A and B are shown apart, each in its own frame.
Chain A
Amino acid sequence: MKPQLLFYIGKGGVGKSTTSAITAIHLSRNSRDILLVSMDPAHNQRDIFQKDFSEKTRQVTDCLAVKEVNVDYWIEKYLKDTEKTIKRTYSYESAFNLQNYFNVLQFSPGLEEYALLLAFENIIHTFEDKEVIIFDMAPTALALRFFSLPFITLIWLEELLKLREKIYAKKEIISEIKIGRKTIEQDKVKAKLAILIQEYGHLGDHFKSGATRINLVMNNDKLSFSEAFRIKKKLLDIGINIESILINKSQSKTIPDEVRNEFNHQKFGLFPFSSKNILGYQAMSEYLDENSEIFAELK
């Protein structure tokens, strides 16, 4: 069975890392095999757990492992792999000065979210045996770019494929007139475009599948409400639904009407305010024990 994917998104500072860490501990205490992945370049999980994490998965308990996605590592790996492929094809690459181009490429806009997408793809393939994978996402802007990347890529790929098919059809006409039959060599670019469309289609489907749950974290304040409404709209534009709304540092046990009205199809969860510092595994476990009634529903 494929793992369930839980994403924690929201405005910077609302507590995505804390709520995702607490959820991860809660689920692992119920003997579910959990992987918590920090996708936020700020990597707050190491401060929250007070442990060093890296690209290499580290077991915190028997049922809970934590991993940090290092965006720079993925960008470097991607550029090296591409450079190798290009060097194989273009024997005269030095003539185009491609080496210099690659040095600049690492600063290209859009590469950061692509690196996250590569890491995501790698994680869902490597950790198929996990029951739940929890993604602690970067703040809104980068997270939205990450979610929309497969869909934007698909729009480009489909338009390029249309143009390529037009070119191919004309080449067939030329071949038919010139040599009397439609025999032209297979268009490698067209084939590659078709493969890419399939791959990005799968990735986009992942975000929309039932196994993926998007949790939108917010605080009980005007600014985080406003941003949450905008996130909901942006995600809906690309066909992604929000599963639940988590109100962190909540001092009341009721959901504000404004939020309830806007998110009438979503579930709600409250993470009560704590006057103590919830840092370290022990402190988070105590927080869960103190609020066991609330978290009993969370399975």
Chain B
Amino acid sequence: MVLKTIKEKIVSAFHLADEVMRGKAVETIEYEVGELDNIFAILVLGAFIGIPSPPIHITMELLPEMEKELGIMLEKVSTAHDPLGDLFSVLDID
């Protein structure tokens, strides 16, 4: 019974470590995807923030599908004053 509990704990610890390592491994690429999503949002929704944008009908056609991207774009505005700090925190540089 005790052995079984220890085994379960080891397995659970292993899973947790695996999850953490996997999470760590994709942290940078996730950051890159976030940036690409932001670039895409800025390209399509640039008219909202005064950047040259595609013909307005493209923006209007895509806008209903871009709730998440619009959120990312607005979130990025809050870190826009310190983009290097944002990048360094992803790369674990103090």
Contact = CB atoms under 8 A, between A and B. Distances in A.
Q: Bound pair: A and B?
A: yes
Interface of A: 78, 82, 85-86, 88-90, 96, 101, 105, 108-111, 114, 149, 152-153, 156-157, 160, 163-164, 166-167, 170-171, 173-174, 177-178, 188-189, 192-193, 196
Contact of B36 (A149, A157, A170): A170
Nearest to A111: B56
B91 interface: no
Contacts of B47: 108
Given A174-B33, A178-B22, A178-B26, 19 more contacts: A78-B57, A82-B63, A89-B65, A90-B64, A90-B67, A152-B55, A153-B54, A156-B54, A156-B55, A156-B58, A160-B58, A160-B62, A164-B40, A174-B26, A174-B29, A178-B23, A188-B65, A189-B65, A192-B62
8 contacts: A82-B63, A105-B56, A108-B47, A153-B58, A160-B54, A177-B22, A189-B62, A192-B65
Contact of A167 (B23, B33, B61, B67): B33
Nearest to A190: B65
A142 B58 CA distance: 19
Contacts of A152: 55
A111 B47 CA distance: 14
Nearest to B47: A108
Contacts of A188: 65
A177 B33 CA distance: 15
A85 B64 contact: yes
Chain B interface mostly helix, strand, loop or mixed? helix
A177 B67 contact: no
Interface in B18-55: 22-23, 25-26, 29-30, 32-33, 36-37, 39-40, 43-44, 47-48, 54-55
Contacts of B55: 110, 114, 149, 152-153, 156
A248 to B, nearest CB: 33
Contacts of A82: 60, 63
Contacts of A167: 33, 36-37, 40
Contacts of A153: 54-55, 57-58
B64 A89 contact: yes
Contacts of B63: 82, 86
Contacts of A88: 64
Contacts of A189: 40, 62, 65-66, 69
Contacts of B32: 170
Given A90-B67, A192-B62, A177 B54 contact: no
A167 B69 CA distance: 12
Contact of B67 (A85, A89, A114, A173): A89
B22 A160 contact: no
Nearest to B35: A167
A163 B57 contact: no
A170 B33 CA distance: 7
A82 B69 CA distance: 18
A273 to B, nearest CB: 41
A216 to B, nearest CB: 26
Instruction: Name, among A101, A110, A189, the residue most crowded by chain B CB atoms within 10 Å (CB to CB).
Output: A189
B58 A157 contact: yes
A123 B55 CA distance: 22
A110 B52 CA distance: 13
